[in-house]
Structure 1
Amino acid sequence: MPPTPPRVGQPRLLLVGAGHAHLHLIRHHHRLEAAEITLVDPGSFWYSGRATSLLSARHSPAEIRLDPVRLASRFGVKVLRGRLAHLDPAAGIARLEDGRALDFSLLSLNLGSCSPCPEPCTPGPGVWGVKPLPRLLALRHRLEQEFSRGRTPRLVIVGGGPSGVEVACQLRELARRHGAHPEILLVTRGQQLLEGAPRGAIGWLMRQLARREIEVRFGLEVTGHAANGVTFTTESNAWGEDSLQWLAADHVVHAEGLVPPAVVERLGLPLIPHRGLAVEATLQCPGYPDIFAIGDCAAMLHHELPRLRIYGIRQARVLLDNLAARLSGDPLIAYVPQRRALAILDLGAGQGLAIRGHHWWGGRLALALKTHLDRRFLRQYRL
């Protein structure tokens, strides 16, 4: 299929993915009016800041989902529904999974991330990742059915970072709403939760988990799934025929971290292994000044950033400036990551945990601040 021709004499800006950054570009499209803008949208935008509260049923899908098509139409941006399959960077052609070929003068990739999961085992436990977010909704529906039948499934959450902690707490909240009391076990390969967090915050969190009867086990490396459970190793028993041990589970939620989507391997662009598309401080891919990448799919050459949405939101402003500069021929600016970022965990039951550098506070005020920030972000894009 031949590429679609742009209007004569007008550069074509192709935005692939409807993440935080591209929503920002659409809302400020007047800065890019020199180009014809097309958004390739794989579906609805799910706001990750409320992902785990979707699991506990505190928020409905409608409360965390935005419609990029409606937003783009409001601002005169063309939208194509589809997913990127391949890229010819030198020729300036993007190919979608359905075979369509789109040419571009400028390209911005905002492809998001996904949760890596070991292969399921049959028969075996239900296996769930925290991304894509509709998987959490599917897990909620499954557990609600089981709770309604009087079942008490054994739930194992893998990962001791913010996502794992939130999932464990929100699963307990979901069970409480249904009068159920399943076993909930949070396991991590590390020796503490929230690696790098202040000691006081970790102590406060451990007390919260104990009150909710969420067991935590450290030093466990989950290796796969087996009948009615998962297999794991420990640091003291990591080799040999008897290294694998077994842990009972009816459902396993993998929240160990996020990785770029598999498509980044097929784009012919420079990569940083296990981190994503390599980008300069200007957010350009090395060697390809007209191709930009941002958010979870991108990895800065000189900074290793945690996958927090605040970085993608801050990068969006630099991306907008640099795309406009590329269109006008002006100098580009560098994105300088902030040294400390505020992260607020939603622990359910009206409790939150806010951490910024060495400072932290837990309780209802932390969750109230998170609620305010979430509402403010979503309000910008609801029409």
Structure 2
Amino acid sequence: MQTAVPIHTDLVLVGGGHSHAIVLRRLGMQPLPSGVQLTLITNLTDTPYSGMLPCHISGRYDFDTAHIDLRPLTRFAQCRLFMDEMVGLDLDNQRVLCRRHPPVAYDLLSLDIGSTPTVAAVPGAAENAIAAKPVPHLLQAWQTYLDTLAAQPTATIGIVGGGVGGVELALNMQARLWQLMEQQGLPRSKVVVHLFHRGSQLATGRNRLTQWLLARKFRDRGIHTHLNESVCAVDPGRVICESGLTVECDRVFWVTNAAAPEWIADTGLATDSKGFIAVEDTLQSCSHPNIFAAGDIATMVNYNRPKAGVFAVRQGRPLAENLRRYLAEQPLQAYRPQKRFLNIIDTGTGTAIASRGPFAGESRLFRWWKDRIDQKFMGLFKEFPPMRPEQPEAVDSIQNAKPTMYCAGCGSKVGSLPLKKALQRVRAEAPSDADWPHREDIFSGLDQPDDAAVVRVPAGKLAVQTVDQFRAMLDDPYVFGQICVNHCLSDIFAMGATAAQVLAIATISYGTDAKQEETLYQLLSGAMQALAQSKTFLVGGHTTEGPELSLGFACNGWVEPDQIWRKSGLQPGQSLILTKPLGTGTLFAADMQLAAKGRWIDAAVASMAQSNQNAADCLRRYSTTACTDVTGFGLVGHLLEMVQASQADVILDLARLPVLSGARQTLAQGWVSSLQERNRQAAAAIRNTISSHPDYPLLFDPQTAGGLLAAVPAAETEACLHQLHRLGYPQSRCIGRVDAASVRPTITINE
């Protein structure tokens, strides 16, 4: 018997804005009651902090300083992280519709997805102007423009929108362009900045003194201010106004009033006149009490406040408190936003203009003050305090939160009803298999209630079989399902075989029928997507419940007898090609300790989610004679099996190893997999010891869904690598060569 509180409630946060960042930190400090599953859906691992964005544009702050890394934050909050974009909402079935994931179920939902500049109404703006949001697109476009200036002696930019955002962007972009010109020995006059604003004063909504200070600053810095001008079109390299004014610009940046995503209007949520989600003082939707919203996407119906980051930050604490209270069925608390707030506009040149109420001024002290405020806020997400235990009274107040005794043995199977429903949903969304190979070989599979799958082995071919299973290293079951399929099928591909069918074995976390159905649905949806890439059938399997999610597959494939790749096929003079980079072991070890950057894990996940099938097909065309997949035993562990089976020596070039982004940094910090030390036992077969080299530990780093390691003729190496790169394996490398065997087969490492 095992005792646990089953998952019974899903709290889903959508968007990683300022409010949700604070919510996650507070929930990490004081976790939700057992049985409540917390999930964040966001398309950004690194969420930009609006207070630091202008100074990042000007070059004062680097990327990491100006962004909140959501991956360690979600780890701290014990929150599942789904990397995706919300595109709709199914209120009737309480599901979030995503661009790539299957619909995600919720019981309690909170939205903090921000806003976007209004561009649709102006011809050419969407195609020829760079919107200030989403911020990653702005930053990428800005960096691309900066890169072009190395071969361009002048810079002319246009900014549409004279609110605080447009004003601050203009000042900081100008400051950065000045720096670039000075680095090339060119005068500042080579930088020309135009700002277009339909109002009569800059920084609409700020006091008169602030507007006067900004007008003077723009005049002193030579920024061309076009007031009372409405932009009616944006052509490539040109801004056209209703007055007839036409201005040539290298780049046009669009920083106008915020707009809500169009799909919100189709959801049925109550909105204001501009399409933003209408919320009560509790930050609760005016129409749906189990939905909350904060930040720019929300409008508090009882208060008229601008869309400003200061309010999103202030909403974080009451939002976290009210989400907790809603779960505990306690009265919610009202949040009352302040009427006056401090606003500091950075000029990009060491000073800032501060205003509050009717007062305003410019000073270097204000710049220091703003930096201190911003650094203190960002410090909340760099170092995490010890977690506080959940409150017993909160647990007791939630229905069905009592621990349950769970059986082992066959009594631990997932119930038939959630299993049946999950499979029905997966089959309904699966691609048609009418034209897939091997379909006629399946006599009994998922669509028939027999005790076992029955398949025919094609005439003249051999059956290739393998099995693998492991615990989830990701808290997103959909992506984990894809990775697990790719990992397990790689053994089939490494034998030169074609994958045909798989049997799944899954362990689902304890939960109610509805929650287990949802997890199994997400898990199998991801698996089916990956299986579809190789046209491989899921013909059956087994499900059980336990304390954590795990998945595995028994895989079957077919191969012609004379086309089998064996580990014993190494031949002297061949090149060794590795199709994927190394480093998943150290990266995920660091991730477990909140020490890995989100973008490093994103890159690792993308690599693991890539199938080895196309790589195997490519290697087959270039006379491969031996192959293996690099997984848990690490590069040297799997290579040693080939060396010993082939009775050959191998020379590895350490400098040529493809390495995942961030893996060297996490190794330098001492983060290694728990399997690393056992893998190092293979070092006994290495002829020379260079353990002091920083990349040496990568040789023993266990990989999940790693690449293929193959031996190809030296004469075909370059052509094979070129084709692998073209097929989407850009980090494929020739990492060594096969030599004639010595007395005892060994591996030699070249630095």
Report the TM-score, using the length of structure 1 for normalisation: 0.89
Q: Which residue of 2 aligns with 1:59?
A: 61
Q: Does 1:226 align with 2:235?
A: yes
Q: Which residue of 2 aligns with 1:328?
A: 328
How far off is 1:257 after superposition?
2.3
Q: Which residue of 2 aligns with 1:192?
A: 201
Query: Does structure 2 retain, via aligned residues, the 8 Å contact 1:125–1:229?
Result: no
Q: Distance in 1 between the 2:106 and 2:152 partners?
A: 56
Which has the bigger relative contact order, CA under 8 A and spacing at least 6?
Answer: 1
SS class of match (2:41): strand
- Please list the CA deviations of residues 257-286 of structure 1 after superposition, one character each: whole Å capped at 9, or x if unmatched: 222233423433112132511111111112
- Please list the CA deviations of residues 164-193 of structure 1 after superposition, one character each: whole Å capped at 9, or x if unmatched: 111111121112111252211112100111
Q: Distance in 2 between the 1:12 and 1:150 partners?
A: 54
Q: Which residue of 2 aligns with 1:23?
A: 21
List aligned pairs for 1:296-315, cutoff 5 A. Answer: 296-315=296-315
SS class of match (1:281): coil
Q: Distance in 1 between the 2:92 and 2:21 partners?
A: 27
SS class of match (2:380): helix
SS class of match (1:302): coil
Q: Which residue of 2 aligns with 1:205?
A: 214
Query: Does structure 2 retain, via aligned residues, the 8 Å contact 1:278–1:298?
Result: yes
List aligned pairs for 1:358-373, cutoff 5 A. Answer: 358-373=358-373
- Please list the CA deviations of residues 327-365 of structure 1 after superposition, one character each: whole Å capped at 9, or x if unmatched: 111111111110111111111000111111112121211
One-letter amino acid matched to 1:191: S
One-letter amino acid matched to 1:21: S
Q: Distance in 2 between the 1:95 and 1:143 partners?
A: 35
One-letter amino acid matched to 2:114: G
- Please list the CA deviations of residues 281-309 of structure 1 after superposition, one character each: whole Å capped at 9, or x if unmatched: 11111231111111111112222321111
Q: Distance in 1 between the 2:89 and 2:314 partners?
A: 27
SS class of match (1:194): coil
How far off is 1:245 after superposition?
4.3
Query: Does structure 1 retain, via aligned residues, the 8 Å contact 2:171–2:348?
Result: yes
Q: Distance in 2 between the 1:342 and 1:46 partners?
A: 20
One-letter amino acid matched to 1:77: C
Q: Distance in 2 between the 1:160 and 1:41 partners?
A: 30
Tell me: CA distance 1:371–1:188, structure 2 relative to 1, closer, same or farther (3 Å). Answer: same
List aligned pairs for 1:41-120, cutoff 5 A. Answer: 41-43=42-44, 44-118=46-120
How far off is 1:9 after superposition?
6.0
Q: 2:11 aligns with which of 8, 13, 18?
A: 13
How far off is 1:221 after superposition?
0.4
- Please list the CA deviations of residues 67-119 of structure 1 after superposition, one character each: whole Å capped at 9, or x if unmatched: 21211112321211111122122322222212412221110011111222356
Tell me: CA distance 1:50–1:263, structure 2 relative to 1, closer, same or farther (3 Å). Answer: farther
SS class of match (2:274): coil
Q: Does 1:290 align with 2:290?
A: yes
Q: Which residue of 1 aligns with 2:354?
A: 354
One-letter amino acid matched to 2:232: T
Q: Does 1:37 align with 2:38?
A: yes
Which ranges of 4 or more aligned residues in structure 1 deviate by more than 6 Å?
none
Tell me: CA distance 1:86–1:201, structure 2 relative to 1, closer, same or farther (3 Å). Answer: closer
One-letter amino acid matched to 1:61: F
Query: Does structure 2 retain, via aligned residues, the 8 Å contact 1:224–1:231?
Result: yes
Gap runs ≥5 in structure 1: 1-6, 235-243
Q: Distance in 1 between the 2:33 and 2:260 partners?
A: 30
Query: Does structure 1 retain, via aligned residues, the 8 Å contact 2:128–2:236?
Result: no
- Please list the CA deviations of residues 6-53 of structure 1 after superposition, one character each: whole Å capped at 9, or x if unmatched: x85622111111111111121121253352211112122111111122
Q: Which residue of 2 aligns with 1:175?
A: 177
Q: Which residue of 2 aligns with 1:343?
A: 343
SS class of match (1:360): strand
Query: Does structure 2 retain, via aligned residues, the 8 Å contact 1:71–1:381?
Result: yes
Query: Does structure 2 retain, via aligned residues, the 8 Å contact 1:56–1:140?
Result: no
The more displaced of 130-139 and 291-300 is: 130-139
Q: Distance in 2 between the 1:343 and 1:33 partners?
A: 38
- Please list the CA deviations of residues 129-163 of structure 1 after superposition, one character each: whole Å capped at 9, or x if unmatched: 11111233223323323332233232111111111
SS class of match (1:144): helix
Q: Which residue of 2 aligns with 1:239?
A: none
One-letter amino acid matched to 2:117: S
Q: Distance in 2 between the 1:160 and 1:45 partners?
A: 24
Cα RMSD after superposing both structures: 2.2
SS class of match (2:253): strand
Q: Distance in 1 between the 2:112 and 2:217 partners?
A: 36
Q: Distance in 2 between the 1:298 and 1:56 partners?
A: 30
SS class of match (2:339): coil
One-letter amino acid matched to 1:45: T
Report the TM-score, using the length of structure 2 for normalisation: 0.47
One-letter amino acid matched to 2:309: R
Query: Does structure 1 retain, via aligned residues, the 8 Å contact 2:296–2:307?
Result: yes
One-letter amino acid matched to 2:274: H
Q: Distance in 1 between the 2:337 and 2:166 partners?
A: 25
Q: Distance in 1 between the 2:245 and 2:216 partners?
A: 28
Q: Distance in 2 between the 1:230 and 1:64 partners?
A: 31
SS class of match (1:160): coil
How far off is 1:196 after superposition?
3.4
The more displaced of 141-150 and 184-193 is: 141-150
Q: Distance in 2 between the 1:366 and 1:71 partners?
A: 30
Tell me: CA distance 1:174–1:324, structure 2 relative to 1, closer, same or farther (3 Å). Answer: same
Q: Distance in 1 between the 2:251 and 2:355 partners?
A: 30
Q: Distance in 1 between the 2:232 and 2:20 partners?
A: 36
Q: Distance in 2 between the 1:17 and 1:305 partners?
A: 21
Q: Which residue of 2 aligns with 1:316?
A: 316
Q: 2:148 aligns with which of 146, 149, 155?
A: 146
Q: Distance in 1 between the 2:200 and 2:269 partners?
A: 37
Tell me: CA distance 1:209–1:125, structure 2 relative to 1, closer, same or farther (3 Å). Answer: farther
Q: Which residue of 2 aligns with 1:4?
A: none
SS class of match (1:49): coil
The more displaced of 260-269 and 318-327 is: 260-269
Q: Distance in 2 between the 1:24 and 1:220 partners?
A: 39
SS class of match (1:63): coil
Q: Which residue of 2 aligns with 1:3?
A: none
Query: Does structure 1 retain, via aligned residues, the 8 Å contact 2:128–2:235?
Result: no
Q: Which residue of 1 aligns with 2:249?
A: 249
Q: Does 1:375 align with 2:375?
A: yes
Q: Distance in 2 between the 1:380 and 1:297 partners?
A: 23
Query: Does structure 2 retain, via aligned residues, the 8 Å contact 1:82–1:96?
Result: yes
SS class of match (1:272): coil
Q: Which residue of 2 aligns with 1:159?
A: 161
How far off is 1:377 after superposition?
0.7
SS class of match (2:345): strand
Q: Distance in 2 between the 1:307 and 1:279 partners?
A: 14
Q: Distance in 1 between the 2:52 and 2:356 partners?
A: 19
The more displaced of 202-211 and 168-177 is: 202-211
Q: Distance in 2 between the 1:98 and 1:200 partners?
A: 49
